[in-house]
Chain A
Amino acid sequence: MSSGNPSSRLFWLAVRIFIGGVFAYAGFMKLIEPRANFEAALMNYPLIPSHLIPFTAGVIPWIEWIFGMFLIVGYLPVISTLVILVLTLGFMAAIATGPLLTGKAMESCGCFGTRGIKMDIRTEFLIDAVMLFFGTLMFFKKQFPWSVHRWLRKTLEKKK
């Protein structure tokens, strides 16, 4: 699931930690504060039907946190990358059809909760685009060096 020279492996490890870290942090910051805050932030995105806002606000932070951390440690790396890519596409669509389209770019995207990093909507869109690019490359190249996945597989193969 990973090959290449040490610098290439380091590069893909950094990409994995960066993408996983952004998602894990975003999920963590939202999970430790009242859910109603994230629900209020989601009201700025018309792509999300209003009756689905409570459900979305309840589920998305958990997915961000768990799959972000899975990606960092490299557990189920292919599935985790795929989940994160789908989420990233969803976030970009929500931003593009909401604040960016209407020109009412919000001061803060609400991505990292109350106490997390404050990021405006354009910066968030740019970061999503960068993550989508490198995440897609990582997914198709299957570059997951130094992952729990590899370690577990090696251990299990040795036992066989």
Chain B
Amino acid sequence: MKRYIAAGIFITAVLIGIIFYFRSQMPSDYGIPEGLRSKGPDTASVVIFEFSNFECHSCADSQLYLKEILKKYPEKIKLVFRHYPNIPIQHSLWAHISAECAARKGKFWEYHDKLFENQKEWSVSPDPLAHFLRYAKELGIDPKEFGDCISDERILMAVKQEDREGMNLGIKTTPTFVINGQYVVGIEQFKQRADKIVELELRKRGEI
């Protein structure tokens, strides 16, 4: 009987070990894009990575709650946006490419807000690029430069690469937020937990 139990303990230990080994192999570098898609101080104690898809309704809805948190803890949070388009949906991919082009002109967050605020307009349009171009013009981006940028293959590849990286990090649905390494998936979890996690992280560091 003792040997039977010992065998069970051995098998269980091996099974647990396998899981911890694979967990340790998971990438944990969320990658901060060079300045253009992040806001907040570099020294902030809390870093929120937002993996979003401009065409997803929950992502648009979550912006309200995200802004509330940023407003509640000014200068204490750094927000980093990561492209996570649903590749088969063409509108979404073009929206992310357009946003990346706006980012390269230093207008990412304004463009980001425009895309979410007008999501119902461009997402059902047969010609979303006309909308994307108009938003760029409204933000003072040169239309010619913007047009050249969105047809640049390198931008497409960069967005697709970021999408793959998100997948490798275990991102399943949008929006997913990673707050100091803790995953918050979907708008419901964000509403329930994000504020508590931020508060706890700031308390840990004696900042509130």
Q: What is A's interface to B at a CB cutoff of 8 Å?
A: 28, 31-37, 39-40, 43, 65-66, 69-70, 73, 75-76, 113-115, 148, 152-153, 155-156
A66 touching B4 by the CB < 8 A rule? Answer: no
Task: Provide the bound-state CA to CA distance between A155 and B19, in Å.
Answer: 30
B7 touching A36 by the CB < 8 A rule? Answer: no
B183 touching A66 by the CB < 8 A rule? Answer: no
Chain B binding surface, main DSSP class: helix
Within 8 Å of chain A (Cβ to Cβ): is B87? no
The residue among A39, A40, A156 with the most chain B CB atoms within 10 A of its own CB is: A40
B185 touching A31 by the CB < 8 A rule? Answer: no
8 Å CB interface, B1-60 against A = 1, 3-4, 7-8, 11-12, 15, 18-19, 22-23, 26
Residues in chain A near residue B184, CB distance under 8 A: 36
- 19 A-B interface contacts by CB (under 8 A): A28-B18, A28-B22, A33-B172, A34-B183, A34-B185, A36-B176, A36-B184, A37-B173, A40-B173, A40-B185, A43-B186, A43-B189, A65-B15, A66-B12, A73-B11, A75-B11, A114-B171, A115-B170, A155-B3
B12 touching A43 by the CB < 8 A rule? Answer: no
Give, as a whole number of angstroms, the nearest-CB distance from B196 to chain A: 13
As a 0/1 sequence over residues 153 to 193 of chain B, the CB contacts with chain A under 8 angstroms (1 = contact) are 00000000000000100111100100000111110110000
B15 touching A33 by the CB < 8 A rule? Answer: no
Task: Provide the bound-state CA to CA distance between A69 and B8, in Å.
Answer: 11
Task: Provide the bound-state CA to CA distance between A50 and B8, in Å.
Answer: 34
Give, as a whole number of angstroms, the nearest-CB distance from B153 to chain A: 27
B189 touching A115 by the CB < 8 A rule? Answer: no
Chain A binding surface, main DSSP class: helix
The residue among A32, A115, A156 with the most chain B CB atoms within 10 A of its own CB is: A32
A114 in contact with B11 given A28-B19, A32-B26 (CB within 8 Å): no
A69 touching B7 by the CB < 8 A rule? Answer: no
A40 in contact with B7 given A32-B22, A34-B183, A65-B15 (CB within 8 Å): no
Residues in chain A near residue B4, CB distance under 8 A: 152-153, 156
The residue among A33, A66, A148, A155 with the most chain B CB atoms within 10 A of its own CB is: A33
Closest to B19 in A: A31
Give, as a whole number of angstroms, the nearest-CB distance from B122 to chain A: 23
Residues in chain A near residue B12, CB distance under 8 A: 66
Residues in chain B near residue A39, CB distance under 8 A: 185, 189
Task: Provide the bound-state CA to CA distance between A35 and B181, in Å.
Answer: 12
Give, as a whole number of angstroms, the nearest-CB distance from A24 to chain B: 9
Task: Provide the bound-state CA to CA distance between A153 and B3, in Å.
Answer: 10
Q: Of B7, B23, B167, which contacts A148 at CB under 8 A?
A: B7
B172 touching A70 by the CB < 8 A rule? Answer: no
Besides A43-B188, A115-B170, 19 new A-B residue pairs in contact (Cβ under 8 A), listed by A number? A32-B23, A33-B26, A36-B182, A36-B184, A36-B185, A37-B172, A37-B185, A40-B172, A43-B189, A65-B15, A66-B12, A66-B15, A69-B11, A75-B7, A113-B172, A114-B167, A115-B167, A148-B11, A152-B3
